[in-house]
Structure 1
Amino acid sequence: MYKSYFKIGWRNLLRNKGYSLINIGGLALGMTVALLIGLWMWDELTFNRYHKNYDRIGQVYRHNLRQGQIQTGNIVTTGVGTLLREEYASHFEKVAIVRGRNEEHVLGFGENQFTQVGYFMQPDGPEMFSINMIHGTRGGLADMSSILLSQSVARKFFNTENPVGQIIRMDNKWDLKVTGVYEDLPKNSVFYDATYLAPLDLYLNGWSHLNVWDNYNVYAYVQLKTDGDFKRTSGVIKDAMLPHIDANSAASKPELFVVPMEDWHLKSYFENGVQVRSPLMNSVWYYGIIGCFVLALACINFMNLTTARSEKRAKEVGIRKSIGSVRGQLVGQFYSEAFLVATLAFIVSLLLTQICLPFYNQIADKDMTLPWREPLFWLGCFAFTFLTGLLAGSYPALYLSSFNAVQVLKGTFKMGRFASLPRKILVTVQFTVSISLIIGTAIVYQQIQFAKNRPIGYSREGLISLHPRSPEFNGKYEVLRNELKATGVVDEVAESNYSIVSTLGWNGGFDWRGKDESLNDLTFNINAVTPEYGKTIGWEFLEGRDFSRAFPADASGVIINETTAKIFGFENATDEVLIRNRNDHREEFKILGVIRDVVKGSPFQKTDPCLYFFSRGDQGWLHIRMNDKATAHEALPKIETAFKKIVPSAPFDFTFADDDYMAKFKAEERIGKLASIFSTLAIVISCLGLFGLASFVAEQRTKEIGIRKVMGASVGSLWQMLSKDFVVLVIISFVLAVPMTYSFMNGWLQHYDYRTDISWFVFVLTGVGALAVTILTVSYQAIKAALANPVKSLRSE
């Protein structure tokens, strides 16, 4: 029976090639979008599943009460990790302390030197995270002078040879023995960017140790015992810090707790101490909804075109009913045809997905593949195709099987007065969704552009930065600065403790005249800079002056940003005194000037309070301001030559300040690009259905058009007659889409401190665009029908 159904369905596809192509093409596009979004969602939802003990690994977080709000963070002290290992060993199988961020260092072997990113961790780390070793063992970090290399970095230095036992030099300072090579970690894992793993003791060597309680600069990872429970363990270690910290720190009531690995990526977001859904998790849901909507649009096309052509199959239904077919059998037949179309569409969508994946990965910054060899993947594909066929075929199957056999065979069957109403509703739904997606995408781009045009407090043009990682730099700042300026292509050179756009370096313990007690827990973003820093980056003064070598007292000066000045509340901040109390030591700093806020963090959020202190050099970052006498292409070789003259062994790895700043828009631009692609495909799918419906309407009204032409109707009036119903539906869709999209996008914008106002122009432009696309789509069939020779359509009358 079903074999017969599929044969009839196949013949119908071949008999109506144009409509079949629209149905299969539309469904294939919808399924491709759903597949691509599904792959992205799966990649996000399975983040960190690469690690063998995924369900038993956790990270130690802490709550602190500050200014009446509970603040949550995952940076702890080395003392916390050591305490958990030594005094809470009954609860943890392993504890590993890891440097609180990835570290960029220069690795060298022979003549080859490369700047690489990696992590400093304790010996238990590789075993805890089940790093897959190619050479050596996971226990290779036991010696402070050892290092593990990723496969990609090992190939850079040693090609395909086994490098275990070879000596790698780090920052031209430490000789480290390669004790192992591990597989590159997948992008959807927490240490995906680790090109090397080095002992934490190497990082702490000479300036810190494993029992510090006042310097928050590490992560603490734990692996529970087999019968461990994260909630119960969190209760046990809750007050573990209190006996080890001073009274000032204890005043913030620190509480430790463990966040399981499954929550790190999508659920590690807290508001006032309560775990809430993160923005990334919201994105996962938003894209999932978009995928469902786009697939639904394709299914609506199938429904509309199938039911629109129902009169052509009415006799078939009547004959089948007259020879004994019951409605259930007819429903099964039409469902079989829908499943056949869905299967063909899925095959096409797999090919399209495979073709689009490289481009899609580039935009999404992923490394996704179709898991062809996974049985679970094919089971999911079968379910996906089945559900698509079920959704697409539901309305046509129920509608077509309901025809009255007697009326059909007598020739008295006519479509009801409201037979086209469901199709109109479905078209309206299609365009409401499509218009909403386009408006939303336009607002995303408007928000990005608004933030890009924000005053950032410094000049990015012609500014480059380097992160020196070699002892050769020590004590050579002045020599290097003079050598660079002597090239004739450099205006100024400066050093700073952190990069221009870095938000690292936070400290509290500051007092000032008239300070409110509620600000006792306030921390500031700190940066130590050489006197030329302001001139180099081009910051703007609102009052006061810059650091100057001409005034020795400036060594005890400080420059504050506009946000800090507002917090202090001084009418004139210049010459006021900032007091720092640290370890029973009191320091006073004279405020020399107030600068316009420099955007260091997210350009979508408010600026943090910042303090800039005087330094004479030997800081972590070098900044070079090129002049406009030469292009960057001409200036950079001269700068590199001067650089190599002073520090010949250090790599000349620089970044443009403009690129560093624009990287802050990466996440939002990714959202905008993906949304624009899916919105465009939604419109294409909707227009495919519209084209098919317009073709059917023109075909259905062929004789009416012929009669009207004989009676003197113009091509324009006929075009208007055939197009107006579709235009009205799109206008209704626009009216429905505007308030819904406005409400949703206005809520989305509230997540940003620095946000645009939604412009009415976005709605107008989208509405005009939707009308234009609709008219263009329908016009081809309308004008074609209007220009047809009426003799041909009326010959049989």
Structure 2
Amino acid sequence: MFKNYLKIAWRNLTKNKAYTIINVGGLALGMAVALIIGLWITDELSHNNYFAHKNQIAQIYQSQTVNGETGTGPAIPRPLEKAFRDGYMDNFKHLVMCSWNTSQYLKYKETNISRDGNFMQREAPEMLDLKILKGEKDGVREINSIMLNESTANALFGDEDPIGKTIEVNSQYDMMVTAVYEDIPFNNTFNDTEFIMPWDKYVSINEWIKNAEDQWGNNSFQMFVQIADNTTMESVTSKIGEVKQELNENSREFNTQLFLFPMKDWYLRSRFENGKQVGGRIKYVWLFGIIGAFVLLLACINFMNLSTARSEKRAKEVGIRKSIGSQRGQLINQFLGESFLVVLFAYALAIFIVVLSLSGFNDLARKEIDFPWSSIGFWLASLAFILFTALLAGSYPALYLSSFRPVDVLKGTFKAGKHSGLPRKILVVVQFTVSVAFIIGTVIVMQQINHAKNRPVGYDKEGLVQVPTMSQDFTGKFELMREEFINSGAVIEMSTSSSPTTNIWSNRSGWTWEGKPEGFQEDLAWTEVSPEYAKSLNLKIVAGRNFSREFASDSTAVLLNETAVKYMGLKDPIGKLLIDEDAENPSDPLKIIGVVQDMIAQSPYEPVKQGMYVFDRYGNGSYYNMRLNPEQSASQNIAVIERVFKEHFPSIPFQYDFVDDEYGEKFATEERIGQLSGIFTALAILISCLGLFGLTSFVAEQRTKEIGVRKVLGASVFNVWNMLSKDFLKLVIISCFIAVPIAYYVMNGWLQEYPYRVILKWWIFALAMLGALAVTILTVSFQAIKAARTDPARSLRTE
């Protein structure tokens, strides 16, 4: 019986090749989109699965309220470690203090490379359950030991055994390799941790960290924990809350709240708003999951529409089968069998499409997804997916076709009925409602990105290069290097800064000034810069003057940005004094000598942070900022800079970043989402148009004789085109009016997450509607005009 169903199904498919191509092609596209989105979602949800103790690992977070606004983040004070170890260790299996990810120069013999890594306490490898390839897991117990990942070890030592070898770090100290661990996979936190060095070493080489041992107000550190086996994240969070009294007494009443932020939430649910966890990347998982489901639904709608549209052609077949004893259940099974065969072919084609496109998709989505050929779970899920899609696409046609009465069909009195096309019309409306909503959403996402991109940055990022200065070799050489680089002709100005141009590394509070409101809790971004900073960035001084080496008093001077002046309520800031209440000698205030234009140093979607720029007395900033010579090409300038760099720092790898590239990275996530949404929207429209094309072809075929009679009676090509097109255009117009309010509601909610956002304009919705109508006209017109131009003698000759 089943074999017979397949034979009939195959004959029907091969007999109607155009119908089959549209059905299989549309379904294959829909299934390919659903497949690739499914692989992407699986990768997102599997983030940090590499770590065996994922469900027990957490990072200590704290929330602080400043002037009524609560901010949340991972920066914590160092004394917290002692408080936890003294009173709460029965709640933890491991507790690890950690630096922020940092770049270091690693040298072995003549090989010198730059790698990113962390200083961590000795329990870190055990907590993270690192896969040790060589050496020992307890690899950072000694102060001069270092653990390398496999890639770094290969880059430094090649085929040599690295264990026991000594490498030089930043031309400052020697470390012995004690272990090599497996590279942490791409879709995991710490995948960029290419080395681990002891926390004790970090403390010993930085005086400020030693001094921070008792500084509850210095939030400059990270802490990771693995909770004990017999407890939960919630219970430990409630217990460590007891420490907040000490925190608040030393943090100027910021109402500090401590809590555990579980590893399972680090990637997908990392967004906090006013102290509450409100999501994060999980919204994109839901977004693409919905897109995948709808695109698959559009493809299934095509199948339903085309199958039911051809109902009259198959009515006699149903009538004959019923008259010779076929039960309705048997007919349903036959039509579902056809559906299954179409879906099976479509799925095979979909896999082919996914395999071909996966590399490009990975580049676009910044992923490293492999097709799971060897995964039994994937193929079982595929079988379930095929059966589900076959049922979804074939159930309505099967029930509809099997319901025909054989007497009516065989007597020739069968008519589909004036309302028989209503379900198809509803499905077309659903298709284009989804497509138009996708169009609107994609346009708004790209508009929001361009809105932020076009926002004034406050400085000239074009032709600006920053070079990290991590090694001790740079100490005290700023003046010399500035002169050398400028004399080379490749650089017209150069400065130092303690933070990169595109970020803020330090914030400070505890300031007081004349007229400061009672109870005002200030929070200012802190950047140390050399006097040439504003000139090298083309940063405009809007009031007062810039730093000058000619004034010795400028060593205690400060520049504020425009936002800081408003934030502090200063009417005439020049000459005012800022006193650091927490300083050892508060009698040495900073004098405001100028106000600089606001510059975006953090998210371009957020307001500019109130900031202060202080004089870098020693020229030992973390970055050299170089303004390239505009008279020469960038590549020519970089080549000259590298040559000069190597003359003075022959053992240090030359690294640089173009600031405009670094700034562009701030849009990377939204741009990827926008591009992927655009591609999926285009595919959704293509699938909808395939269905519309198929339906138009069928309607034209069904009304061939009518068209012939009309042509004989004098109907023009336009008259015939209008007759075949108007019904479809009406359906698309209805779709537009349904899609617009839905899209407005969803996208307006999405935009609320951005303080700096685009305003929704009416023309966005009008453009999407016109686009949908234009695509519909083009799709329908091809078949309509073809039918209208057919010689009526050919269509009427059979009479």
Same fold (TM > 0.5) = yes
Q: Deviations over 1:49-72 (max 9, x none)?
A: 111112222222223343334433
User: For 1:460 and 1:273, how far apart are their aligned partners in 2?
Assistant: 34
Does the aligned pair in 1 maintain the 2:512–2:579 contact within 8 Å? Answer: yes
| Distance verdict in 2 for CA 1:380–1:535, change over 3 Å | same
Match of 1:96 in 2: 96
- Confirm or deny: 8 A CA contact 2:504 2:527 kept in the other structure: no
Q: Provide the secondary structure at the position in 1 that maps to 2:554.
A: helix
Cα pair 2:429 2:732 within 8 Å, conserved: yes
Distance change in 2, residues 1:246/1:240 (3 Å) = closer
Question: Displacement of 1:294 after TM fit?
Answer: 0.7
**Does residue 1:594 correspond to 2:586, yes or no?**
no
Q: Does structure 1 retain, via aligned residues, the 8 Å contact 2:248–2:254?
A: no
Say whether residues 1:141 and 2:140 are aligned partners: yes
Cα pair 1:239 1:254 within 8 Å, conserved: no
In 2, the alpha carbon distance for the partners of 1:777 and 1:122 equals: 65
How much does 1:584 deviate? 5.0
How far apart, in 1, do the equivalents of 2:86 and 2:513 lie?
41
Any conservation in 2 of the 1:580–1:588 contact (CA below 8 Å)? yes
1:260 is displaced (CA, Å) by 2.2
The reply to whether residue 151 of structure 1 matches residue 153 of structure 2 is: no
In the TM superposition, residue 467 of structure 1 has moved relative to its aligned partner by 0.5
Moved more, 209-218 or 198-207: 209-218
2:194 aligns with: 195
Contact 1:469 1:650 in 2 (8 A): no
Aligned-partner Cα distance in 2 for 1:640–1:268: 39
Counterpart of 2:667 in structure 1 is 665
- 1:471-492 deviation line (CA, Å, top 9, x unaligned): 1111111111111111123211
Which deviations, in whole Å up to 9, do the C-alpha atoms of 1:422-464 show, x marking residues without a partner?
A: 1111111111111111111111111111111111111112110
Letter in 1 for 2:430: V
Letter in 2 for 1:620: S
Say yes or no: does 1:541 pair with 2:541: yes
* 1:385 partnered with 2:386: yes
- Name the residue aligned to 2:223: 220
**Aligned ranges for residues 631-650 of structure 1 at < 5 Å?**
631-650=633-652
Give the residue type in structure 2 aligned to 1:238. Answer: G
**SS across alignment from 1:737:** helix
Q: Could you tell me which residue of structure 2 aligns to residue 238 of structure 1?
A: 241
The one-letter code of the counterpart of 1:249 is S
Q: 1:506, 1:523 within 8 Å by CA — same for their partners in 2?
A: yes
How far is 1:693 from its partner? 0.8
Partner of residue 277, structure 2: 275
1:272-311 equivalent positions in 2, closer than 5 A: 272-278=274-280, 280-311=281-312
Q: What is the CA–CA distance in structure 2 between the aligned matches of 1:137 and 1:319, rounded to whole Å?
A: 78
For 1:548 and 1:763, locate their aligned partners in 2 and report how far apart those are by CA, in whole Å.
54
* Contact 1:85/1:92 (8 A) holds in 2: no
Distance 1:160 1:776 in 2: 63
The Cα shift of 1:17 comes to 1.4
In 2, distance between residues paired with 1:426 and 1:648? 69
Distance 1:609 1:318, change over 3 A: same
CA distance in 1, matches of 2:248, 2:257: 15
Do structure 1's residue 526 and structure 2's residue 526 form an aligned pair? yes
Residue type of the alignment partner of 1:201: D
Letter in 2 for 1:359: G
Q: Is the 8 A contact 1:468 1:650 kept in 2?
A: no
Q: Distance in 1 between matches of 2:648 and 2:158?
A: 31
Instruction: Please say if 1:731 is aligned against 2:733.
Output: yes
After TM superposition, the structure 1 stretch with the greater mean CA deviation from structure 2, 142-151 or 58-67, is 58-67
For residues 691-743 of structure 1, the C-alpha deviation after alignment (integer angstroms, 9 at most, x for no partner) is 11111111111111111111122222212221222222222222222222122
TM-aligned CA deviation for residue 28 of structure 1 = 0.9
Match of 2:755 in 1: 753
Match of 2:255 in 1: 253
- Cα deviation for residue 272 of structure 1 reads 3.1
User: What number of residue pairs does the alignment pair up?
Assistant: 793
Tell me by how many angstroms 1:161 deviates: 4.0
Cα distance change, pair 201–358 in 1 and its aligned pair in 2 (3 A):
same
**Distance (Å, rounded) in 1 between the aligned partners of 2:326 and 2:184:** 59
- Give the equivalent residue in structure 2 for 1:740: 742
- Deviation at residue 571 of structure 1 after TM alignment: 2.2
Residue 165 of structure 2: aligned partner: 166
Q: Which stretches in structure 2 are left out of the alignment for 5+ residues?
A: none
- 1:161 and 1:346 map into 2 onto residues whose CA distance is 49
Match of 1:355 in 2: 356
Structure 1: tracts of 5 or more residues without a match: none
Q: Which amino acid aligns with 1:757?
A: I
| Alpha-carbon spacing, 1:767–1:246, altered in 2? closer, same or farther (3 Å) | closer
The SS at the match of 1:783 is helix
In the alignment, the residues of structure 2 paired with residue 499 and residue 554 of structure 1 have an alpha-carbon distance, to the nearest angstrom, of 22
Deviation string 1:79-114 (CA, Å, 9 cap, x unpaired) is 323433443232211111111x21111122222222
TM-superposed CA distance for 1:250, in Å, is 6.5
Q: State the 1:241 CA deviation.
A: 5.0
* C-alpha distance in 1 between matches for 2:760 and 2:69: 31
8 A contact 1:242–1:250 mirrored in 2: no
Provide the residue aligned with 1:790 in structure 2.
792
Of residues 608, 628, 631, the one that matches 1:629 is 631
Alpha-carbon distance in 2 for matches of 1:250, 1:621: 32
Q: Which residue of 1 aligns with 2:33?
A: 33
Superposition deviation, residue 688 in structure 1: 0.8
Letter in 2 for 1:652: F
* CA root-mean-square deviation: 1.7
How far the C-alpha of 1:589 sits from its partner, in A, is 1.2
Cα distance 1:696–1:54, how it changes in 2: closer, same or farther (>3 A)? same
Counterpart residue identity of residue 108, structure 1? K
Change (3 A) 1:275 1:181: same
Show the counterpart of 1:408. 409
1:501 aligns with 2:502: yes
Alpha-carbon distance between aligned partners in 2 of 1:50 and 1:186, rounded to the nearest angstrom = 7
Q: Which residue identity is paired with 1:131? A: L
Looking at structure 2, the residues matched to 352 and 737 of structure 1 have their Cα atoms a distance apart, in angstroms, of: 30
Written as runs of structure 1 = structure 2, the 5 A alignment for 1:44-123 is 44-99=44-99, 101-123=100-122
Describe the SS at the equivalent of 1:519: coil
Question: What secondary structure, in the 3-state scheme, does the structure 1 residue paired with 2:757 have?
Answer: coil
Q: Which amino acid aligns with 1:138?
A: K
Contact 1:239 1:255 in 2 (8 A): no
Q: Which residue of 2 aligns with 1:175?
A: 174
Given that 2:248 and 2:255 are in contact with CA atoms closer than 8 Å, whether structure 1 keeps it comes out as no
Q: Kindly indicate whether the alpha-carbon contact (under 8 Å) linking 2:113 and 2:156 is maintained by their aligned counterparts in 1.
A: no
Deviates more, 1:388-397 or 1:715-724: 715-724
Return the offset for 1:16.
Answer: 1.1
Q: The residue matched to 1:450 in structure 2 has which SS?
A: helix
The one-letter code sitting in structure 2 at the alignment partner of 1:324 is G
Query: In the alignment, is the contact (CA less than 8 A) between 2:560 and 2:612 conserved in 1?
Result: yes
- Given the superposition, is the C-alpha separation of residues 253 and 756 from structure 1 closer, same or farther in structure 2, using an over 3 Å criterion? closer
Secondary structure of the residue aligned to 1:582 is coil
Q: Which residue of 2 aligns with 1:124?
A: 123
- d(CA) in 2 for partners of 1:160 and 1:606? 51
Per the alignment, residue 444 of structure 2 pairs with 443
What is the TM-score when the length of structure 2 is the normalising length? 0.96
Distance 2:415 2:572 in 1: 85
Q: Tell me if the contact between 2:469 and 2:623 (Cα under 8 Å) persists in the aligned partners.
A: yes
Q: Return the match for 2:654 from 630, 652, 661.
A: 652
CA displacement at 1:211 relative to structure 2:
4.0
Give the superposition deviation at 1:354.
1.5
Can you list the C-alpha shifts for 1:399-429, whole angstroms capped at 9, x where unaligned? 1111111101111101110111111111111
Deviations 1:171-218 (A, max 9, x none): 122222122222221222111111222222222223224944432222
Shift of 1:654: 0.6
Separation of aligned partners in 1, 2:775 and 2:112: 56
- Contact 2:372 2:378 (C-alpha < 8 Å) held by counterparts: yes
Please report how far the alpha carbon of residue 160 of structure 1 lies from its aligned counterpart in structure 2 after TM superposition.
Answer: 4.3
Measure how far apart 1:518 and its partner are: 4.0
Counterpart of 1:430?
431
Q: Equivalent residue of 2:589, what SS?
A: strand
Cα contact 1:116–1:195 (8 A) shared by 2? yes
Deviation at 1:395, TM superposition (A): 1.3
